[in-house]
């Protein structure tokens, strides 16, 4: 019984990066970094059963839009229920890889990710897919926009910083979650700040 439970937990972390749904503490910690008083284009990556999705749909302004990217269609019933419960909000579900969705430059104001970045590491390809995902996020985020990412282990910070060309804005720790999580906050520098940095 314990062996079967361990195998299931290991499988969930490997495939989804999670054991159970994110706690309310983690959801609040991440969404506290979003200014919902503004009309925003928001992208959520890796929704699972929608603990972030429900709060995003509830808190975003009527003029905002929320794109939910979840590659696993098995989670569709939960996300579709949230969409049905939010008739006055524009929420769209996309069952695809996020690299296929992020094709338009400087589009989103906020990108919130639950992707298990650590699982994308691959020495044989020099982390090609990991960097493909991070470059897509950087490409699709507006200048001044914010990318929020949580990890169960303090990993891939340097990868994100390398792609964005700057240090992480903040790294916070949320202990009241299963597992405890680190929250990364990275804003996309403007062209002016990038030029100044380069000089």
**Segments forming the whole domain that contains residue 74:** 25-198
DSSP conformation letters of the chain: -HHHHHHHHHHHHHHHS-SSPPPHHHHHHHHTTS-TTS--EEEEE--TT-HHHHHHHHHS-TT-EEEEE-S-GGGHHHHHHHHHT-TTSEEEEE-S-HHHH--STT-EEEEEE---GGGG--GGGTSHHHHHHHHHHHHHEEEEEEEEEEESSS-SHHHHHHHHTS--SEEEEE-SSSS-EEEEEEEPPPHHHHHHHH-
Rounded to whole angstroms, the Cα distance separating 7 from 194 reads 45
Residue 9 placed within a domain? no
Quick check: is 15 in a domain? no
**Is 11 inside a domain boundary?**
no
Residue 71 lies in a domain: yes
Among residues 119, 139, 146, 141, the alpha carbon closest in space to that of 130 is found at 119
Q: Is the dihedral of CA 73, 146, 154, 134 positive or negative?
A: positive
User: What sign does the dihedral 105-108-110-111 (CA atoms) show?
Assistant: negative
Residue 13 lies in a domain: no
- Residue 20 lies inside a defined structural domain of this protein: no
What is the domain-level CATH number for residue 78?
A: 3.40.50.150
| 15 Cβ neighbours under 8 A, 6+ residues apart | 119
Task: Specify the pLDDT at position 21.
Answer: 67
Q: What's the CA angle centered on 45, arms 42 and 48, to 5 degrees?
A: 120
The total number of structural domains in the chain stands at 1
Task: Assess if residue 10 is contained within a domain.
Answer: no
Question: What residue ranges of the chain have pLDDT lower than 50?
Answer: 1-17, 19, 192, 195-199
Flag whether 19 is in a domain. no
């Amino acid at each position: 019984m314990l062996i079967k439970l361990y195998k299931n937990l290991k499988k969930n972390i490997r495939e989804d990066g999670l054991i159970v749904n994110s706690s309310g503490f983690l959801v609040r910690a991440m969404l506290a970094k979003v200014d919902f008083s503004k009309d925003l284009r928001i992208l959520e990556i890796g929704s699972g059963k929608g603990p972030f999705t429900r709060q995003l749909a509830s808190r975003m302004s009527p003029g905002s839009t929320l794109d939910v990217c979840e590659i696993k269609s098995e989670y569709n019933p939960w996300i579709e229920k949230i969409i049905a419960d939010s008739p006055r909000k524009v929420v769209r579900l996309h069952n695809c890889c996020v690299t296929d969705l992020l094709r338009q430059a400087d589009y989103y104001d906020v990108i919130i990710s639950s992707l298990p970045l650590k699982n994308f590491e691959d020495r044989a390809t020099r982390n090609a897919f990991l960097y493909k995902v991070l470059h897509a996020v950087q490409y699709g985020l507006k200048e001044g926009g914010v990318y929020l990412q949580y990890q169960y282990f303090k990993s891939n910070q340097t990868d994100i910083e390398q792609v964005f060309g700057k240090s992480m804005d903040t790294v916070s720790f949320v202990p009241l979650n299963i597992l405890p999580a680190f929250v990364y906050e990275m804003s996309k520098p403007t062209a002016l700040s990038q030029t100044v940095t380069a000089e």
